Amino acid sequence: HAKAQGRGRAEHFTAQLAAEIAERALLESDLRAAVEQDQFTLVYQPQVSASDGRIVAAEALLRWEHPKRGLCLPGTFIHRAEETGLIVEIGEWVVKHVASTIARWGAIGVEQRLAVNISPRQLDHAAFFRRLREAMQEAGAPARLLELEITETLAMHCSSEVIEAITALRADGASIAVDDFGTGYSNLARLRDLPLDRVKLDRSLVENVATSVEARTIAQAVIGLIHGIGCEVVAEGIETEAQLEVLRVIGCDVLQGYVIGRPMPETAFLGWAQAEPRRALRA
């Protein structure tokens, strides 16, 4: 009896594993098709200045319009894209589109920085920076309107080649931000030695600033340290007016989150930026 039960569980487990493997294979083949069939799109989330509420930048965020599953968020596929290496091709698509977006907005007088997320696997790829430069030149997009977001963990471990390439890009006018700060293990001495412009406080550091004195104290100390290494502070994932107010008071330079503006398709974003450039702050 016990044996039969054990066998039943094993069969169940095997079936589940098989289903997972099939699902992963399907996701991978769907991702390949997505690259070939241009199923990706970008949405844009505003970043505003903490001092006057003006829009200073936007972050480009990837979306996948899956023919059957509908709109997919990066959380459902980026990890698999990284595992399979497909992130390199997807990332190239993103970079090309970001370059053409910068140029298109420039042509209508919208001169905000556009930030783009770069995954570690892309930076491993030797051609990344060359392709990036080519894409910007071909589109006629000035480097000063480009910002690369690299994760804290990647920033801590990037090779001297990558640091060199980043330094060159910055010399052209582009900027570099460390994303998701507060989720990894950072060594500020190491961060200080990297060519960086901004550090983005992860949502986990922002979440409780309005409800917990401790969280506020920690955030304030972290902001001081980041300013101390010569970087601006961007707070991300701001969802309430109360968080927004605290983050302004404790010294964040740039604010981003649903309470200011959600990630939007291009037309909606441009409308938003023109209609209410200062909507974020009720000074």
Under the binding rule (CB under 6 A), the answer on residue 253 touching ligand C2E is no
Under the binding rule (CB under 6 A), the answer on residue 182 touching ligand C2E is no
Under the binding rule (CB under 6 A), the answer on residue 238 touching ligand C2E is yes
Question: Residue from 86, 198, 237, 254 that binds ligand C2E (CB under 6 A)?
Answer: 237
Cα distance between the two ends of the chain: 72
Tokens of 155: 């920033």
- For residue 95, CA distances in Å to 58, 74, 141, 155, 191 come to 14, 16, 11, 19, 25
| CA gap 110, 103 in Å, rounded | 9
- Residue 259 · residue 241 · CB < 8 Å: yes
Which positions from 147 to 166 touch ligand C2E by CB under 6 A, shown as an x/- string?
A: --x-----------------
Residue 94 interacts with which of ligand C2E, Mg ion, none, CB < 5 to 8 Å by class:
ligand C2E
Of 132-140, 160-168, 255-263, 268-276, the segment contacting ligand C2E by CB under 6 A is: 255-263
**Closer CB to ligand C2E, 5 or 267, in the complex:** 267
- Residue 248 · residue 256 · CB < 8 Å: no
Return the residue matching tokens 């080519």. Answer: 134
| CA gap 31, 53 in Å, rounded | 38
Residue 237 interacts with which of Mg ion, ligand C2E, none, CB < 5 to 8 Å by class:
ligand C2E
DSSP secondary structure code for residue 202 in this structure: P
Under the binding rule (CB under 6 A), the answer on residue 62 touching ligand C2E is yes
Question: Residue from 147, 180, 232, 253 that binds Mg ion (CB under 5 A)?
Answer: 180
- Residue 48 · residue 281 · CB < 8 Å: yes
Residues making contact with ligand C2E (CB under 6 A): 45, 61-62, 73-75, 78, 91, 94, 117-119, 149, 179-180, 203, 236-239, 257-258, 263
Residues making contact with Mg ion (CB under 5 A): 117, 149, 179-180
